[in-house]
Amino acid sequence: MPNLHLFIFGMGYTALHLAATLHEQGWQISGTTRRGGAVGNGFTATTFANPEAVLARLESATHILSSVPPDRDTGTDPVLDNYGEAIANAGANKWVGYISATGVYGDVEGAWVDESAPIGSGRRTARAAADLGWQDLRDDVRVFRLPGIYGPGRSVLDRLRDGSARSIDKPGQVFSRCHVADIASGIIAGFSGPPGVYNLADDQPCAQHLVTSYGAELLGMDPPPLQSMEEAELSPMARKFYSENRRVANGKAKRVLGWEPLYPTYKHGLRAILEGESGG
């Protein structure tokens, strides 16, 4: 096996799951966090603001991936601002990818959206600008647009247990989601697939309260009562989340990358999480 080395800007939940998967396959993994130091799964990160160390690792990496969102204060992409030139000039032999979000599509009143849909009209204007910025950086970039992410330690099962789960009754509202393991497999499929934009989502968009109800059933709990948005006293951020309504199509990733989600619905994914917790 050649010396494969993935460098990740932003070693958060999703990126660390990908890193662990590749590490088991013999890959070298490095990356950044804001503060550097030890991160989950036994990896050590470089401080983002240490250009000497970052540039050295970019030089040795065979694959570069950014999962860093736009800066909340400036609205710009910190990776593009600080390291965009180095990545653009890194050479054609480097694989470059960016993790974006399906929020760039905005509200389409529950319609299906694929990668040809316009972006930038919703609440994620900064994310849409970053998405386009990465596409413009080089002609061989892969952009992965993700919906709601869930997996071990970060699912409705955890929210039900700690009492933070809500069941919002908003007729006609649907969301898409994707298990973190399927995101990792989709990105890995993109290593050998052509450049471009890919939605990674499961096969069954649905109302969030259905996911909550099923999670409660798995745990043998009563689901939270259905509430209107007003009754639930949602935060401004949560209200913005519920202001958009769309179904995310995953056909391109399946057709072009040969990707198939291991957990095609939230029921498959939640059952697997619960079985993993019990050692099943």
Dump the DSSP string for 208-239.
Answer: HHHHHHHHHHHHT-PPPPEE-HHHHT--HHHH
Mean pLDDT of the chain: 94
Residues 6+ apart with CB under 8 A from 7: 30, 31, 57, 58, 61, 63, 64, 65
Q: What is the pLDDT of residue 280?
A: 62
Q: Which two tokens stand for residue 88?
A: 């653009």
> To which residue do tokens 């900064």 refer?
126
Question: Domain residue spans in the chain?
Answer: 69-277
The pLDDT of residue 196 is above 80: yes
Q: What is the pLDDT of residues 220-275, one digit of tens each?
A: 999 999 998 888 777 887 788 888 999 999 999 999 999 999 999 999 999 999 99
Q: What is the pLDDT of residues 1-12, one digit of tens each?
A: 569 999 999 999
Report the candidate in 110, 248, 117 with the shortest Cα–Cα distance to residue 176.
248
E-strand spans in 162-207? 167-168, 177-179, 196-199
Give the H/E segment covering residue 6: strand 5-9
Higher pLDDT, 75 or 194: 194
pLDDT on residue 236: 81
pLDDT in tens, 87-120: 999 988 999 999 999 999 999 999 999 999 999 9
The residue among 68 and 124 whose pLDDT is bigger is 68
Say whether pLDDT at 133 is over 90.
yes
Rounded-to-integer distance, Cα 47 and Cα 33, Å = 6
Cα(252)–Cα(232) distance, integer angstroms: 37
Superfamily of domain 69-277 in the CATH hierarchy: NAD(P)-binding Rossmann-like Domain (3.40.50.720)
DSSP string for residues in 40-92: GGG-EEEETT-HHHHHHHHHH-SEEEE-PPPPTTT-S-HHHHHHHHHHHTS-T
Say what the pLDDT of residue 231 is: 84
pLDDT of residue 41: 80
Between strands 247-248 and 167-168, the pairing is unpaired
Q: Per-residue pLDDT for 192 more than 80? A: yes
Tens of pLDDT, residues 143-174: 999 999 999 999 999 999 999 999 998 889 99
The tens digit of pLDDT for each residue in 20-65 reads 999 999 999 999 999 999 997 889 999 999 999 999 999 999 999 9
Neighbours of 1 (CB within 10 A): 6
